[in-house]
Copies of this chain bind each other. A is one copy, B any other.
């Protein structure tokens, strides 16, 4: 079995440079194996899948559908018909908003989301609420980032048609009780959409166990190429939904007036598919399985603990969310007294440390926690303790650079 240090060597960008990459919640790095899987696809079997009657196209189709099966398996053994390939989480969530939301939400109905949502799981619901005259209700977390039972039980009601909730917050790192919320929402006959962008890369996900109706995630945050994402949807719901994008590959018959649509999941995949992207995602899943979520979680916890312990020693640093590193999913958001996050990020960049600063596509959460802007360090399993130590060391010098003496 390879050690984590050996896995790290699969990432040329990490081995090559002297950069510390702590912006994994934005996008991950890709191991050589994934890049090679994509290149091999183009070198050996590149063709437009789905319709060709020749070897390359059949092989491309096989690889694409194999990727679908692997994804179906990866999120808990659902059926391949329930897996739709999209570009990213954002497109997956928009698909649900347009094809399910606009059709099933009416005037006076309610849609429940949380104030922690990424804009991608917020704006589509604002759109549905606006178009349909429905009300958008926000769940609010406590200090530690937790959505309490009384919070969701008081706001999810018989009027609720859709509950859309992030599995893991990209700012607080907290894992929301999606299973409990789903059970409660289902008791009110609401449909539940889970934004898994920040969970799928970091923990074993079982959508059947969660019980949710839709689950969305992005390949690029879990070592797959950019440009490939996933939407899981329960078959029963997908069957009754109108297509979203229309065009080639998603039809059975087309006449001048109308069309009948292809079977699931093709009904939702219009146009030439990103087969190479799907092949890359399949390879990323194989890679994750080889490393194993146990090892991934253990390393992330070790790094997060070290990070939070180090930050706690700096009196001018404020960390958001839970005090427990195990509840951060590798994501630590913080501010430094007197130093704007953008200046901090620039100074750290000068030391070849990559962190994110800003609103993290979660402006309402920033308003809620009363911070205009914050800094975020997010790790993945290929990061090291040495990197965390070096980061803390560099960070402790930022205030001096910013004129606050030593």
11 contacts between A and B (CB under 8 A): A13-B43, A26-B51, A54-B349, A89-B271, A118-B248, A120-B246, A123-B270, A126-B246, A225-B276, A227-B274, A255-B367
A56 at the A/B interface (Cβ < 8 Å)? yes
The answer to whether A19 has its CB under 8 Å from any CB of chain B is: yes
Tell me, yes or no, whether A200 is within 8 Å of chain B by CB: no
Given A276-B226, A342-B53: A90 touches B247 (CB 8 Å cut-off): yes
Does A249 sit within 8 A of B, measured CB to CB?
Answer: yes
Which one, A153-161, A298-306, A350-358, is touching chain B? Answer: A350-358
Q: Which of B26, B119, B247 contacts A119 (CB 8 A)?
A: B247
A201-209, A256-264, A387-395: which one contacts chain B? Answer: A256-264
Nearest CB in chain B: distance from A383 CB, A: 15
If A118-B247, A277-B227 touch, whether A46 touches B89 (CB-CB below 8 Å) is no
Question: Which residues of chain B have C-beta atoms less than 8 A from A246's C-beta?
Answer: 90, 94, 119-120, 123-124, 126-127
Min CB gap A169→B, angstroms:
14
Q: Are A357 and B247 in contact (CB under 8 A)?
A: no
Chain A window 366-388, contacts with chain B (Cβ cutoff 8 Å), 1 for yes, 0 for no:
01000000000000000000000
A396 within 8 A of B: no
How would residues 116 to 135 of chain A score, 1 for a CB under 8 Å from any chain B CB and 0 otherwise? 00111111101100100000
Q: Quick check: A226 and B271 within 8 Å, CB to CB? A: no
Alpha-carbon distance between A258 and B43 when the two chains are bound, in angstroms: 46
| Complex: A253 Cα to B367 Cα, angstroms | 11
**Chain B CB within 10 A, most for which of A90, A94, A126, A346:** A90
> What's the tally of chain A residues with a CB closer than 8 Å to chain B?
89
Given the known inter-chain contacts A254-B122, A270-B120, A275-B226, please indicate yes or no for A47 contacting B363, CB distance below 8 A: no
A42 to chain B, nearest CB (A): 5
Stretch from A27-35, A144-152, A324-332 contacting the other chain: A27-35
- Say if the beta carbon of A345 comes within 8 Å of chain B: yes
> A247 contacts which chain B residues (CB < 8 A)?
89-90, 93-94, 118-121, 123-124, 361
